[in-house]
Structure 1
Amino acid sequence: MKPFLPSEKYFGELELVHSFYGAMPTGVTVSETGRIFVCFPKWGDDVKFTVGEIVENTLQPYPDVQTNVENYEDITMTFISVQSVVADGRGTLWVLDTAAPNFSEPIKGGAKLVAVDLETNTIRKVYTFSEDVVLATTYLNDVRFDFRVGKAGYAYITDSSSKGPGAIIVVDLSTGHAFRRLNGANSTSPDPYFLPKVEGRILMNRNKDGSTSRFTLASDSLAISPDGKTVYFAPLTSRHLFSISTEALRDKTIPDTDLPYHVEYWGEKGASDGMITDAKGTVYAGDYENNSIRKIWPDGTMETIAHDPRILWPDTFSIGPDRYLYVIVNQLHRQARFHYGKDLREKPYSLLRMKIDELPASTYTL
């Protein structure tokens, strides 16, 4: 008989919402009416459609098949490789198209932010970017909104480049004018001293030819306060949390050399991919090194609310009107590029949820 030995304790009540047996998902969002949308960037899997909706436990292309077939003659009206989807709580699904399949240089004119009307399921508006905003190295990652400022509100987008400067891209939704902020700043750049460890092993780029290099990705995690006055952000390869006032981000009279002085440092939160805020201003963040989900109160105190072996790389978060926290779990760290060309992911990938009894942060004045 084998002796009993103490083992790690797991906690947090997680429910399975959906299992994915096809392409690997990254983004999830739950609309104000409870509709669930997911996206699948083209990272090498056989992606049938890059944006989908879960309808009665079945994945369907959204808004339709045609929009999910890239058309270079109509590149702004079709999706190429979508990294993030965000329902804004007032009838619109926002689709962030990297136009960078397999982390390539963004296809010229293809990187865009698309507003889809959830009532008609049709594209209402498309925002494209100039070459001084979406650089040759840019990888558009996550987006947050505030409709209380300007004529039509503002969007804030992270550039999580692995080869160039990280940044937060600010978009005036009334004019479409966009500009980069904190471009190459320490707060939007990979932590040069950070060595990620996942499932007990060091995470590195490990190529088929046997060569290796450090895994580095810039600003990725993004959340906005319920009043729209603060954005929280973090590089993917870092354990540090930062914030800055949205007013400072929008104020172009503050030069980028001075803008870092407006950044507030919150300390270590763990290494996260996705991040979200609830209606009370609490930030929820994954910890992909420790199979965990954390919450950070407005005063900076922190608590781990879930620690579970099934949380194999918590990616995007969303809070639904049902007061559940939704999270995509996609085993990103098991991809072939980290294991000398051998894909170690095991299907299915998962959409999980846990009850938090809080509503999502509003993007507009109630």
Structure 2
Amino acid sequence: MTKSALLAGFASLAALCATAASAQRAASPLTQVAQFEHQATGVAVAADGRRFVNFPRWTDDAPISVAEVMKDGSLRPYPDANWNAWSNAKANELPVGNHFVCVQSIVPDGQGNLWVVDPGAPGNEKILPGAPKLVKIDLKTNQVTKIIPVPEDVALQGTYLNDIRFSPDGKMGYITDSGTRGAIIVVDLDSGESWRALDGHFSTQVDKTVAVALDGQPLRRPDGRQPMFAADGIAISKDGQTLYYQALTGKTLYSIDTRLLARDVEDAQRRSSVATVAQSQVADGLWMSKAGVLYVTSPTDYSIKRLRGSLLETVLTDPRLRWPDTFAEGPDGKIYVTASHIQDTMWFKPGAPPSIRTELFSFAAAR
């Protein structure tokens, strides 16, 4: 075979691969909504359809913490540039109590507000004193209306505030602690008081029998460690009576009656009342849709699943879902999900640049 014929063969093969990839994307129910030059984790969609994302300060190159995704795909610091101005380089200049330090998630409360969960632990390491907090933003005025500090006896050193869900009346918040000592953190959003529940209980802990693997290969840091994240994904039933949660490094979906998370309930009663909902898989995000469907991300097989009885069934699989992370739901009947590319970060891929490209996708909600 001549050199020119060989090159032509390679070109034809490349064209066929590109065509096949395009066809696969066209056949997928997953639609890319936006692409970002930094690692995005959380997503939120307001009642008027406005979309927001957040970028955790796991590396110091993130230029923004919370942003509104504009119609042209550009990002606008939200609620303003000042709240997003903190960085390690400016740590001695800007107070951590009224600036975003390391935002992990952003969630609307159904009452016209966007809440920002700031674990206050840049690099997912040591908590900065006074930095863990919840920030309430009025979506009509785009103004911060409340800051709830999470005290150090609740956000313990080693805690990582991960995701939040709200009671239907917007008065209570439930946060997963995915750090070294997992728990559910309960917040009275009126008084600002908070407390730890199921602290150290097996249901909120890393399952050490679980090995995180992608494409048949274990996901490991250069020193051999695998991802070890405790209570992470969280969802609440439509009536607000049942809270669902799971450790990321785990294989069991649990639930508890939200009444048992009240401050005056004995922890022994809580612990004995935790229910096993389903055997699952490594999961990051959970979402209870408006139609009452519980969605679960499945990073190890690039898929989205939903709960059917006590079983999880696959909704969609797409290789573009490199670590499906966090869900949101829009008024247009779509479910949104971020792909945060955990496996592509320098934590797990030596030599990778600090900045990685991530995406926001959507798909039609099930009825």
> Is TM more than 0.5 here?
yes
Alignment of 1:75-154 (within 5 A): 75-148=96-169, 153-154=171-172
Alignment of 1:272-311 (within 5 A): 272-297=283-308, 299-311=309-321
Deviations 1:67-102 (A, max 9, x none): 111276543221111000001232101000111010
Partner residue in 2 for 1:325: 335
Task: Find the aligned partners of 1:130 and 1:325 in 2 and give their Cα distance.
Answer: 34
Deviations 1:13-69 (A, max 9, x none): 11110011x211000011111010100001115111100000122111111111111
Partner residue in 1 for 2:362: 353
Partner residue in 2 for 1:363: none
Q: Say if 2:275 is the partner of 1:259.
A: no
Partner residue in 2 for 1:338: 348
Task: Find the aligned partners of 2:95 and 2:145 in 1 and give their Cα distance.
Answer: 15
- Asked if the contact 1:31/1:88 (under 8 Å) is kept, the reply is no
Partner residue in 1 for 2:16: none
Q: Could you list the runs of 5+ residues in structure 2 that have no partner in the other structure? A: 1-8, 14-23
- Asked if the contact 2:324/2:340 (under 8 Å) is kept, the reply is yes
Partner residue in 2 for 1:361: none
Q: For residue 94 of structure 1, give the secondary structure of its aligned residue in structure 2.
A: strand
CA 1:175–1:134: 2 relative to 1, 3 Å: same
Q: For residue 260 of structure 2, give the secondary structure of its aligned residue in structure 1.
A: helix
Task: Find the aligned partners of 1:64 and 1:172 in 2 and give their Cα distance.
Answer: 26
| Percent identity between the two aligned chains | 35
Partner residue in 2 for 1:158: 176
Deviations 1:161-196 (A, max 9, x none): 0xx210000001121110000101110000010001
Q: Say if 2:245 is the partner of 1:233.
A: yes
Partner residue in 1 for 2:232: 220
Task: Find the aligned partners of 1:345 and 1:309 in 2 and give their Cα distance.
Answer: 22
CA 1:291–1:346: 2 relative to 1, 3 Å: farther
Name which of 55, 59, 64 aligns with 1:44.
Answer: 59
Deviations 1:103-160 (A, max 9, x none): 1221111110010011111100011122110001111100000143xxx610000110
Once the two structures are TM-superposed, the CA of residue 226 in structure 1 deviates from its matched residue by 0.5
Q: Which amino acid aligns with 2:147?
A: V
More helix by share: 2
Task: Find the aligned partners of 2:293 and 2:266 in 1 and give their Cα distance.
Answer: 28
Q: Say if 2:188 is the partner of 1:178.
A: no
Task: Find the aligned partners of 1:346 and 1:170 in 2 and give their Cα distance.
Answer: 33
Partner residue in 1 for 2:5: none
Segments of 4+ in structure 1 off by > 4 A?
9-12, 344-347
Task: Find the aligned partners of 1:12 and 1:231 in 2 and give their Cα distance.
Answer: 31
Task: Find the aligned partners of 1:147 and 1:240 in 2 and give their Cα distance.
Answer: 26
Name which of 180, 184, 189 aligns with 1:168.
Answer: 184
Task: Find the aligned partners of 1:280 and 1:14 in 2 and give their Cα distance.
Answer: 19
Deviations 1:225-259 (A, max 9, x none): 1011111100011121111111011153322x342
Q: For residue 305 of structure 2, give the secondary structure of its aligned residue in structure 1.
A: strand
Q: Say if 2:215 is the partner of 1:199.
A: yes
Once the two structures are TM-superposed, the CA of residue 345 in structure 1 deviates from its matched residue by 9.0
Once the two structures are TM-superposed, the CA of residue 272 in structure 1 deviates from its matched residue by 1.0
183-192 or 45-54: which moved more? Answer: 45-54
Higher alpha-carbon Rg: 2
Partner residue in 1 for 2:281: 270
Task: Find the aligned partners of 2:353 and 2:64 in 1 and give their Cα distance.
Answer: 23
Once the two structures are TM-superposed, the CA of residue 346 in structure 1 deviates from its matched residue by 9.1
Deviations 1:206-228 (A, max 9, x none): 2xxxx322321100000111011
Q: Which amino acid aligns with 1:352?
A: F
Once the two structures are TM-superposed, the CA of residue 289 in structure 1 deviates from its matched residue by 0.8
Q: For residue 252 of structure 1, give the secondary structure of its aligned residue in structure 2.
A: coil
Q: Say if 2:330 is the partner of 1:314.
A: no
Q: For residue 289 of structure 1, give the secondary structure of its aligned residue in structure 2.
A: helix
Task: Find the aligned partners of 1:337 and 1:36 in 2 and give their Cα distance.
Answer: 29
Q: Which amino acid aligns with 1:270?
A: Q
- Asked if the contact 2:41/2:53 (under 8 Å) is kept, the reply is yes
Q: For residue 67 of structure 1, give the secondary structure of its aligned residue in structure 2.
A: coil
- Asked if the contact 1:25/1:38 (under 8 Å) is kept, the reply is yes
Once the two structures are TM-superposed, the CA of residue 357 in structure 1 deviates from its matched residue by 5.1
Q: Tell me the C-alpha RMSD between the 2 structures.
A: 2.1
Q: Could you list the runs of 5+ residues in structure 1 that have no partner in the other structure? A: 3-8, 359-366
- Asked if the contact 1:165/1:218 (under 8 Å) is kept, the reply is yes
Task: Find the aligned partners of 2:319 and 2:354 in 1 and give their Cα distance.
Answer: 14
Q: Which amino acid aligns with 1:234?
A: Q
Task: Find the aligned partners of 2:74 and 2:152 in 1 and give their Cα distance.
Answer: 38
